[in-house]
Amino acid sequence: MFEILKAGGWGMVPILICSAIALAIVLERFWTLRKSAVLPPGLGEQVRGWAHSQQLSPSHIQALRENSPLGELLASALDVRDRSRAEIKERIEDTGRHVVHGLERYLNTLGTIALIGPLLGLLGTVFGLIRMFLAVMLSGVGDPMKMAGGIGEALVCTASGLVVAIPAYVLHRYFRSRVQGYVVQMEKQAIALLDELANGKAPPAELRTITQSGARAAG
């Protein structure tokens, strides 16, 4: 294997660097985007239970915010639970953009590697062909070993670029799809909490005053 990589020449250096970065990103994203880490089972129901029973101390909300991306989203709604439904929804949307940005962390880098992998392979191929033509110019066609070295360098770089780019592209699309699925599920949990907060909210002071006045008048 080392001999094959060595045959690719200096053009293999950026390809190997890209492959190492891509591998690190893939391992980190597989760990970070575990469903149990993003959407802890039963968390949405637990938070709605807190909201229903008014067990919403600052320590509860802070622990929820540090729990997971879903917890951060739900905690943002609880921070403004005493405001109107529109304001709570706006806070959820604002926090949601930050949460999604965190879930998509490094994915642009992985997509860039998938894009430039074949280009780096092509660059190595061009330099391999240049090396072959220079060998022909210096020694003619009587030395096939020098020609073979240039052709081998070109082919190794091309193959290596594709070997890096294809898995990077597939995994980039896979992680993007996983994040989109998580976003849909987090939206469902946020809407359910928003409904719970709206239903359990006491009527405004003016409405209570009018209601109490009407009740006294009726009495």
Question: Which residue carries 């020694």 as its tokens?
Answer: 139
Residue 144 is predicted with a pLDDT of 60
Round to whole Å and give the CA distance between 1 and 158.
Answer: 16
Average pLDDT over residues 196-203: 68
DSSP string of 143-176?
Answer: -HHHHHHHHHHHHHHHHHHHHHHHHHHHHHHHHH
pLDDT over 50 (residue 218): no
| Banded pLDDT at 219 (limits 50, 70, 90) | very low
> Would you say the pTM of this structure is higher than 0.75?
yes
Quote the mean pLDDT of the chain.
82
Round to whole Å and give the CA distance between 68 and 139.
Answer: 66
Round to whole Å and give the CA distance between 37 and 52.
Answer: 25
Residue 159 is predicted with a pLDDT of 86
Range of lowest pLDDT (94-108, 133-147, 185-199) = 133-147
Q: What are phi and psi of 124, to 5 degrees?
A: -60, -35
| pLDDT tens string 65-86 | 998 999 999 999 999 888 888 8
Residue 206 is predicted with a pLDDT of 40
Range of lowest pLDDT (58-67, 95-104, 196-205, 206-215) = 206-215
Residue 179 is predicted with a pLDDT of 96
| pLDDT tens string 121-148 | 888 888 777 777 776 676 665 556 655 6
Q: What are phi and psi of 203, to 5 degrees?
A: -65, 155
Max mean pLDDT among 14-28, 38-52, 81-95 falls in 14-28
Average pLDDT over residues 181-203: 84
Average pLDDT over residues 85-94: 91
